Amino acid sequence: MVSLPAFEHTPIDKIAGIYGKVQKSYLSHKTRGLEFRLAQLRKLYWGLKDNQEAIQEACKLDLGKPSYETYITETGWCMNDIIFTCNNLAKWMKDESAPDIPLMNKALSPRIRKDPLGVVLVIGAYNFPIQLSLGPVIGAIAAGNTVVLKPSENSPNAAAVMKMILEKYVDSSCYTVINGAVPETTALLEQKWDKIFYTGNGTVGTIIAKKAAETLTPVTLELGGRNPAIITKNADPRLAARRLVWAKILNAGQVCVSQNYILIDREILPQFLEELKKTFKEFFPAGAKASPDYGRIVNNRQWTRLKKMLDDSKGKILIGGNMDEADRFLEPTVVQVDSLDDSLLADESFGPLIPILPVSNLDEAIKIANSVHDTPLGIYPFGNKKETDQVLNQTRSGGASVNDGFFHASLPTLAFGGVGTSGSGAYRGRSSFDCFTHRRSVTTTPAWIERMLAIRYPPYKGKLGQYKKMQDLKPNFDRMGRSTGGWLSWLISLGAQSKGGALIRYLLVALIAVSYKRWQAQAKI
Ligand code: NAD
């Protein structure tokens, strides 16, 4: 067994000094160059690679995480993220020419620089302790910032391993870990950051946002939600069962983006329940407790919370229900509930509880989903295309997987984030770079343009007419908001929204062109 470093709280009286060091490094400009960023990311890659066993052991101790899950969602995930980022970094860092600038302003070379934000604080959560901490850190390093990482104290072994890796492998004057809980985080929030990236629950998210607002510090908040899965009568019950069970057993359901409850058309409920039973038998032939592929609840506090949620439910347990506090084991548990007020719907479980509420039709399901949480982190419609489109068109959510549990959030390069109360901002892949980058608009005014610029200098007398002639755009709409573009713009925009319309437009243009040619030919005769 690999020996792990001990989790130690960073002394609170050292926090201001550590911040000062990291800030000084930022102001030395050493993190700005491409080569420096690449070298640090590459070193971090080797830090992860060399310490795979320690990470595996830490996640096992913290969450009972199966080593397969630790590899695909933590170590391997972050290593791939680093390689992907390194492969694209030079391209992402390049200035972009500003889009949609009128020709007359092009002389100023309008462009977007990609500047680092500065000194950033990343606060991680316990459930994917490595990925949710190092994922944002990778983006922050790539974007040229210096970083302080505060991992979750609720996964103490993973936190200690990350501290050891960062200290040993990367420039610790630029990137450092502060370990601790509320007092340490509170001390960190006293410093002036250029960005705070927080992952965790909404209550603490509010504390962070309020504190950040005092100094106008921008925040990205990655929060939770009461995410619905909606199964219509036209869905495939087998696929729905397998995919939604997967989304609730990974990490023992401690996944922010997994479905919190299932709304299902009554008509298909019996087949779905049958398929759920078959799926559990297939995934865990000797039961979840005996399986090496099923994790544990992070600590006794969370285990007790989940048990209470289940005890308070008025629903009927259909599958599972076994628990063992000593082992922090909670069997994946399917409960049929009959009310929106049920404890299993009222809160986010963030555990392996699977409440099912039967409904009469899709309209009812959508209405319920919007009333339970109008801006969840994810939404999972199962059904035919028309039905799943209806769900997407009539709801909001951070992301969505159609005919699956949270698979959209399993794509490491797809932007990930919430909306409304499930969070703001996004990261992963290119978005991680953007998340920690300031898009700085820049122009350069050439000397030769000075004569044309005379219009901006006083005295202003007599210049307004000239200005209007040069700058004012003509409206192509009337007072009723109708387009007044004339036949040419009608022709150009005909069917612009659809492929069919575009085809008609092309045919019309072709017809006009052919007729014109014919007329020309006849005119010659
Ligand atoms: P947690 O207990 O690990 O806490 C998260 C972080 O908040 C920790 O680093 C902790 O030290 C810090 N913290 C706690 N209290 C604080 C305080 N008073 N002031 C400042 N910092 C404080 O995790 P959690 O919050 O219990 O995580 C579960 C929640 O997070 C769920 O709602 C889940 O959906 C959400 N979550 C969201 C994402 C996402 O990516 N959107 C990912 C994971 C978890």
pLDDT in tens, 24-46: 999 999 999 999 999 999 999 99
Is residue 236 classed as helix, strand or coil in its secondary structure? coil
The answer to whether 191 touches 164, Cβ cutoff 8 Å, is no
Structure tokens at 283: 């995934």
Distance 201 CA to ligand 1 centre (A): 5
Give the length of the chain: 525
Tell me the C-alpha distance between 207 and 195, whole Å: 15
pLDDT tens for each residue of 390-404? 999 999 999 999 999
Distance 184 CA to ligand 1 centre (A): 14
Cβ of 372 closer than 6 Å to ligand 1, yes or no, is no
pLDDT tens for each residue of 85-107? 999 999 999 999 999 999 889 99
Cβ of 119 closer than 6 Å to ligand 1, yes or no, is no
Cβ of 377 closer than 6 Å to ligand 1, yes or no, is yes
Structure tokens at 432: 């991680």
In this prediction, residue 215 carries a pLDDT of 97
Cβ of 56 closer than 6 Å to ligand 1, yes or no, is no
The answer to whether 362 touches 385, Cβ cutoff 8 Å, is no
**Higher-confidence residue: 514 or 170?**
170
Averaged pLDDT of the chain: 95
Confidence of residue 508 (pLDDT cuts 50, 70, 90): confident
pLDDT over 90 percentage in the chain: 91
Cβ of 256 closer than 6 Å to ligand 1, yes or no, is yes
In this prediction, residue 494 carries a pLDDT of 59
pLDDT tens for each residue of 204-253? 999 999 999 999 999 999 999 999 999 999 999 999 999 999 999 999 99
Cβ of 181 closer than 6 Å to ligand 1, yes or no, is yes
Cβ of 201 closer than 6 Å to ligand 1, yes or no, is yes
The alpha carbon dihedral of 252, 255, 257, 260 has a sign of positive
Q: Residue 498 pLDDT > 80, yes or no?
A: no
Cβ of 64 closer than 6 Å to ligand 1, yes or no, is no
Distance 151 CA to ligand 1 centre (A): 10
Cα 447 from chain centroid (whole Å):
45
Atom of ligand 1 nearest to the CA of 348: 32
Cβ of 425 closer than 6 Å to ligand 1, yes or no, is no
pLDDT tens for each residue of 401-414? 999 999 999 999 99
Please give the order of strands across the beta sheet that includes 111-116. Answer: 96-97, 111-116, 437-442
In this prediction, residue 493 carries a pLDDT of 61
Distance 166 CA to ligand 1 centre (A): 22
Give the phi and the psi of residue 5 in degrees, each rounded to 5.
Answer: -65, 155
Distances (CA, A) of 81 to 43, 84, 131, 138, 299: 13, 5, 10, 8, 29
Is residue 150 classed as helix, strand or coil in its secondary structure? strand
| Active-site pick, 69, 74, 184, 222 | 222
Q: Let me know if 256 is a catalytic residue.
A: yes
Cβ of 470 closer than 6 Å to ligand 1, yes or no, is no
Among 320, 269, 263, 250, CA closest to 64 = 250
Among 7, 128, 4, 133, CA closest to 71 = 128
Give the residue whose CA is nearest to atom 19 of ligand 1. Answer: 182
Three-class DSSP labels, 237-281: HHHHHHHHHHHHHHHHHCCCCCCCEEEEEHHHHHHHHHHHHHHHH
DSSP 42-65: HHHHHHHHHTHHHHHHHHHHHH--
Tell me the C-alpha distance between 158 and 260, whole Å: 26
Site to probe by mutation for ligand 1, drawn from 204, 206, 255 as the one with most ligand atoms within 8 Å of Cβ, is 204
Give the residue whose CA is nearest to atom 14 of ligand 1. Answer: 182
Atom of ligand 1 nearest to the CA of 208: 20
Distance 455 CA to ligand 1 centre (A): 55
Q: What's the N-to-C CA distance of the chain in angstroms?
A: 96
Cα 66 from chain centroid (whole Å):
24
Give every CB contact of residue 127 below 8 A, 6+ residues apart in sequence: 63, 155, 251, 254, 255, 256, 298, 350
Q: What mean pLDDT comes out for the span 487-515?
A: 67
Q: Let me know if 74 is a catalytic residue.
A: no
| Active-site pick, 256, 331, 348, 435 | 256
DSSP 322-367: -EEGGGTEE--EEEE---TTSHHHHS---SSEEEEEEESSHHHHHH
Q: Residue 17 pLDDT > 90, yes or no?
A: yes
In this prediction, residue 515 carries a pLDDT of 80
Among 302, 123, 120, 119, CA closest to 199 = 123
Structure tokens at 370: 């919007």
In this prediction, residue 491 carries a pLDDT of 64
